Amino acid sequence: MAQLFDPRIGFYLRLLALAAIAATVAAIAAWRAGTDYHYGLGQSADQPVPFSHKHHVGDDGIDCRFCHASVETSAFAGIPAVSTCMSCHSQLYTSQAALRPLLESMRSAVPLHWERLNNLPDFVYFNHSIHIAKGVGCASCHGRIDTMPLTARTAPLEMQWCLACHRNPEHYLRPKDQVFNLRWRSADQAALGTQLLHDYRIDKRRLADCSVCHR
Amino acid sequence: MSSLNDHRRFDADAARAALRSKRGPALWRSLEELADSEGFLIWLRDQHSSIAEALQLDRRGFLKYMGASLALAGLSGCGRPPRGQIVPYLRTPPGQIEGVPRFFATCVLRAGYAHGVLVQSRMGRPTKIEGNPHHPASLGATDIFGQADILQLWDPDRSQAISHRGDAAARGELDAALLAMTAGFDRDAGAGLRVLTGTVTSPTLSAQLDELLTKYRGARWHVHQPVDAANEFAGAQLAYGRAVSTRLHFERARVVVSLDADFVSDPAGGLRYAHDYAASRLKLDNTASRLYVIESAPSLTGTMADHRLPLRPDDMSRLALQLAKRLGLSVDVPDDTDPERRRWLDALTTDLEANRAASLVVVGPSQEPWMHALGHVLNAALENVGSTIDYCEPVEKRSAAGCTLSDLVAAIDSGCVDTLLMIGCNPVYDAPVDLRIAEALKRVPHVLHLGLYHDESASLAEWHIPMAHVLESWSDARAYDGTASIVQPLIAPLYDGLSAHEVLAQLLGEEVTEPSVRVRRHWCGLLRDDEAWEAALRTGVIAHSTPPPLTAAVRPGFRLAPTLRTSSEDALDLLFRSDPTIGDGTWANNGWLQELPKPLTQLTWDNAALVSPALAARLNLRNGDVVELSLQDRTVRAPIWVMPGQAPQSVTVHLGYGRRRAGRVGDGLGFDAYSLRTTTAPWRSAGLRLRKTGDRYALAATQHHFNVEGRDLVRSGTLQEYLHDPHFATASDRFAGPPPSLYPSHAAGEYTWGMSIDLNSCIGCSACTIACQAENNIPVVGKDQVSRGREMHWIRVDRYYEGSAERPRVYSQPVPCMMCEHAPCEVVCPVGATVHDSEGLNLQVYNRCVGTRFCSNNCPYKVRRFNFLQYVDESAESLKAQRNPEVTVRGRGVMEKCTYCIQRIESAHIDADRDDRRIRDGDVVTACQAVCPTQAIRFGNMADPQSMVARAKASGRSYVMLGELNTRPRTSYLARLRNPHPSLKDEL
């Protein structure tokens, strides 16, 4: 009986398979390059309480440090204790269904479990306090949080993204009294940045050293 | 493994021949190296070729594995951002800043005595222990055990539940049983009640015991501490007619004579003594102190000696008596005939008489009471009392006469013990073997055991109660000089453990109170108000609690009653010592301590029978030979380790091994030396029989690892040489200053970090190694990996011998990363995983490392460590809580090394930059520097000429290792100085 397939068919099949793999890889690469999805940008998480920064910061004008109390002194900005929330919410909106988990947490002494949006790998040692002290505004990394009804991530937090600032911090520095002002914009960042770099005595030589962030 | 050991053959004749032919400084690390046997070279080669043989690959296989690993590596890069949860407090505790570690002053206990510590707490999690600078026994340092306490707290093998005859029981059942027992005691005044504890220095616990003995008149309290100071108290009783505690002041002593006293390792005051002794050596002029050590078993103190004489115990006693006679005491002893000992006696006599009130005779705990009495009399005769030595009321609570462990066993035998409560002790393992305590316990109707582990004694008890760790409980304790401190908890008991106070309170029928209340009530006299109480908690010391010196006068009519024996030439002595790294066995389940190379032997994970080279040559013994050690009808099998400097005809065995129920780490390691130890001879037994079995045992010693082939690494000289030429240490260097280099220099950064290690102060205690392990999340690898040379310690303590095998000089040299400015490791890394930063630190970037190990190969100092396997235990939950979150936990296939504690540098940087100031000298303290009892390690900014490290490096004694390689190390050393007596040869 004659052979059903040409002897060369095996070769074509392999070529086809190779082409399919190459096409898949190219498609994934193109998708990664074209979208922010894999960074989680603009996506919020299911939180135990649908907390709105827009309401608390944008509308009520509460300072960042009221809740994130250790941001100027610690690596960790601090997530408010339930008792901090209760300083207002023992009186306000106590009947709202959305606040029920908060009241329940206080009553049962089981703390809330918030989903983390901005998380770094364990080998990266980020410190909030030094960024605040050297005039990096909250908005530079966290975006216009005062406009977000549900909090979302706004920065990719890749090493490349960190280095963009660590190599040229002058593009991002702001006066110390404007660090917590989310609406602040500089009229002439080039001149201001160079001046602040000098004023803050930032040693640019070591900012891109591995040891600054990795230990 | 056995073949590996077979190569470690020691040829004594070859060693002697080698020594004769050598001139100038000749350092050696082991007897095999001294003999330069061919087997040693083969062994050394094997050590490094074992990896290549492990995986036989052809070209195709290699390409396949490479392709697969590349593809997998690519896949792992496609992950989503890491997720996680944040769980905030309900109410933030006062004073807590989230993410900032806090330190609390408390104490850890060593043989019952307090060492003041500051415990780092990260969000409620104790993670690291530092010494407390305010505490007299610590002065900011800790010993290896103080560091390892943190691992013990988080040890997953700790006892976690109450058990009744081996079955888990509820707290309610225990309470009911205790209630029934106390009802019985109320009826018969506690006639059958016995309490057994270790050494007690806690004033609150003493008061509770007194209360118990008052309430139940028939009850008795017994003390059992396997390695104790009983001989010292008995000696004081002889000389002064009363028990006193002795406090030594080495900083005032110019001549110290140690009779088998390893005072730098003393559990109670060793840290302070080491500090004071090192301080007395700092002045490099004719007022520097001189140390004579006469000992049978080599010790750390012996390595520090200017003159060391290894003697058998009987000869030592005789020499001490002859010295007393020379100093004018009426002692009936014939003069020595040995010319060398006569020279020694001459030198000792002139030195001691020339330094009245500034000398010190120290007698070790292994010496018989009359020797201690002799020491007291000598110190009194030399007018040292009140100057270099003083006395105070006994710091530890003394039990009434007739309340030893032997008395307890006698009472059990006579049937009058009904209930025995054991608190924090393990007599079934560590009691003298002639007491047959395990059999005795079976005759006691009710045995209760309160302990950290479900150990040998717990397994024979009716009730076992998990004990709260010292970092989990409220208590108090006294230091070696009597200063009291409050012990405060860092964390609530992890496994609902109870403290001794709580169990005794329950026996006393007290109402359950907050545990701190009991301690506070006890101290209401000295700590009247909240302010005083909080000050005591904050500083870690109770002000004005140090007992005043006693005026002790030698008893009128005191006659020294020496018991001198003359042992024959062939007779063998067996000497018992507690293990240098796992103590009396309490620490057997601690992986850090098991893997720490024991100072002097460099053994890990095992104990051995230490014999002198002469004895080994005579009996044809070599390292790893298994012998039978027999005393009367008792026998143990032990591997041999030939110990240079060991007194002839004596065999040292270390207690603490051969545990049967220590836990997963400590079970079944080594041999049990307690099985030869009896009540009458706790320190030394004459009449040892030693028989070679012909078997071999593989010992894992690190002494050949990272061998640097006999280069000029340790430098030393005499004080006279130094005064003649302060730059003697660098006189033989080929280049003055760094030679020219083809490599470009790195631009200087804002700071220039550097380290200086003073070999004159280093006592070789290895606390730096353990502190580094605790700080930097360094894993434990196990005996098999150690024997392949894969231990992970970032700072090792090398031990070098110089001179003859019978009486060598010993040097200890801590070796961290040299942080070379022209680092050989950096230029060979294909992926840039080891790079220089702008402040001159040589960094290791774990995430870039692909594990080629080229860097390690090219490192002349052999300080790089590779994760050959997944060494870090990622499964045990409690161990995760111990780790330092500021340091990356390294996985398999990654190179690592000392970082100069980069996390501490960065945290100081951030603090200084935040406040817009420069980092001050002393702001960055590396873990090894912080723990060092003698402050041998200095670290700081070399560019600042006023910094401590720059001043140390400016000394004439400063030298760098292998400077001729032009690596320009940032770590440098200060040469060791000896201060020999002019009439005694500075002999080897």
Full DSSP string of B543-568? TT-SPPPB---PPTT-----------
Question: What token pair was written down for B574?
Answer: 């067996």
**Residue B186's closest CA among B160, B217, B157?**
B217
Q: CA-nearest residue of chain B to A102?
A: B90
Q: CA-nearest residue of chain B to A126?
A: B886
Q: Residue B888 and residue A127: Cβ atoms within 8 Å?
A: no
The answer to whether residue B826 neighbours chain A at the CB level (below 8 Å) is no
How many A-B residue pairs are in contact by the CB < 8 A criterion?
134
Checking if the pLDDT of A148 tops 70, the result is: yes
Q: Residue B910 and residue A127: Cβ atoms within 8 Å?
A: yes
Residue B971 has phi, psi (to 5 degrees) of: -90, 125
Disruptive mutation site among B86, B100, B845, B887 for chain A (greatest number of A CBs within 10 Å): B86
**Which tens digits make up the pLDDT trace of A85-122?**
999 998 888 888 889 999 999 999 999 999 998 888 88
Helix B144-153 and helix B767-775: axis angle, to 10°? 30
Q: Which of B87, B88, B914 sits opposite A129 (nearest CB)?
A: B914
CB A54 within 8 A of CB A152: no
**Residue B638's closest CA among B614, B660, B606?**
B606
Residues of chain A found within 8 Å of residue B842, distances taken between Cβ atoms: none
The answer to whether residue B544 neighbours chain A at the CB level (below 8 Å) is no
Residues of chain B found within 8 Å of residue A134, distances taken between Cβ atoms: 913
Sheet holding B463-466, edge to edge: B167-168, B163-164, B463-466, B446-451, B419-423, B193-197, B220-223
Listed by number, the residues of chain B in 861-920 with a beta carbon closer than 8 Å to a beta carbon of chain A are 886-889, 899, 902-903, 905-906, 910, 913-914, 916
Disruptive mutation site among B844, B872, B910 for chain A (greatest number of A CBs within 10 Å): B910
The answer to whether residue B930 neighbours chain A at the CB level (below 8 Å) is no
Q: Residue B88 and residue A79: Cβ atoms within 8 Å?
A: yes
pLDDT of residue B24: 40
- Expressed in angstroms, the distance from the first to the final Cα of chain B is 35
pLDDT of residue B67: 73
Distances (CA, A) of B686 to B333, B564, B937: 22, 13, 42
Among positive and negative, which fits the CA dihedral B294, B299, B301, B304? positive
> How many other C-beta atoms lie within 10 A of the C-beta of residue B896?
20
The nearest CA of chain A is from the CA of B841 a distance in Å of 9
- Expressed in angstroms, the distance from the first to the final Cα of chain A is 70
Section A51-57 average pLDDT: 93
CA distance A150 to A47: 9
CA distance B500 to B513: 14
Residue B656 has phi, psi (to 5 degrees) of: 110, -15
Q: CA-nearest residue of chain A to B906?
A: A212
CB B120 within 8 A of CB B103: yes
Residues of chain B found within 8 Å of residue A115, distances taken between Cβ atoms: 83, 85
Read off the DSSP letter of residue A129: H
pLDDT of residue B70: 67
The nearest CA of chain B is from the CA of A36 a distance in Å of 11
CA distance B192 to B521: 30
**Residue B376's closest CA among B199, B542, B560?**
B560
Q: Residue A210 and residue B83: Cβ atoms within 8 Å?
A: no
> Where are the extended beta strands (E) located within B816-936?
834-836, 842-844, 865-866, 895-896
The nearest CA of chain B is from the CA of A134 a distance in Å of 7
> How many other C-beta atoms lie within 10 A of the C-beta of residue B414?
8
Q: Residue A111 and residue B903: Cβ atoms within 8 Å?
A: no
CA distance B276 to B389: 13
Q: Which of A69, A76, A115 sits opposite B85 (nearest CB)?
A: A115
Residues of chain A found within 8 Å of residue B905, distances taken between Cβ atoms: 211
CA distance B417 to A157: 70
Residues of chain B found within 8 Å of residue A210, distances taken between Cβ atoms: 835, 837, 843, 845
pLDDT of residue B9: 45
Question: What token pair was written down for B242?
Answer: 């009363």
The nearest CA of chain B is from the CA of A70 a distance in Å of 6
CA distance B704 to B709: 10
Q: Which of A70, A130, A206 sits opposite B98 (nearest CB)?
A: A70
CB A210 within 8 A of CB B835: yes
Distances (CA, A) of A188 to A170, A172, A185, B625: 11, 11, 9, 81
**Residue B972's closest CA among B988, B987, B952, B943?**
B952
CA distance B292 to B294: 7
Q: Residue A205 and residue B747: Cβ atoms within 8 Å?
A: yes
H helix intervals, B77-170: 144-153
Among positive and negative, which fits the CA dihedral B420, B425, B429, B433? negative
CB B939 within 8 A of CB B924: yes
- Surface-to-core class of residue B170, CB atoms within 10 Å of its CB (0-12 exposed, 13-18 middle, 19+ buried): exposed
Q: Which of B82, B887, B906 sits opposite A119 (nearest CB)?
A: B82
What's the whole-model pTM score?
A: 0.89
What interface predicted TM-score (ipTM) does this complex get?
0.88
CA distance B988 to B800: 14
Q: Residue B81 and residue A39: Cβ atoms within 8 Å?
A: yes
CB A79 within 8 A of CB A48: no
CA distance A142 to A138: 6
Res. A133 pLDDT band, cuts 50 70 90: very high
The nearest CA of chain B is from the CA of A212 a distance in Å of 7
Q: Give the number of C-alpha atoms closer than 13 A to the C-alpha of residue B622, restricted to the C-beta side.
A: 18
b/e sequence B114-141, b meaning 16+ C-beta within 10 Å: bbbbbbbbbbebbbbbbbbebbbbbbbb
Disruptive mutation site among A49, A87, A210, A212 for chain B (greatest number of B CBs within 10 Å): A210
**Which tens digits make up the pLDDT trace of B98-134?**
889 999 999 999 999 999 999 999 988 999 999 999 9
Read off the DSSP letter of residue B97: P
The answer to whether residue B839 neighbours chain A at the CB level (below 8 Å) is yes
pLDDT of residue B41: 53
Q: Which of A74, A83, A215 sits opposite B902 (nearest CB)?
A: A215
Residues of chain B found within 8 Å of residue A109, distances taken between Cβ atoms: 90
Beta-carbon contacts of B352 under 8 Å, excluding residues fewer than 6 positions away, are B255, B257, B327, B359, B361, B382
Residues of chain A found within 8 Å of residue B888, distances taken between Cβ atoms: 122-123, 214-215
The answer to whether residue B505 neighbours chain A at the CB level (below 8 Å) is no
DSSP string, B789-839: T----SSEEEEEEES-SSS-EEEEEEE-----TT-HHHHH-TT--EEE-TT
CA distance B264 to B261: 9
Beta-carbon contacts of B185 under 8 Å, excluding residues fewer than 6 positions away, are B193, B216, B219, B419, B507
Question: What token pair was written down for B537?
Answer: 């908690």
CA distance B212 to B192: 13
Q: Residue A211 and residue B841: Cβ atoms within 8 Å?
A: yes
pLDDT less than 50: residues of chain B: 1-10, 22-25, 46-54, 706-709, 988
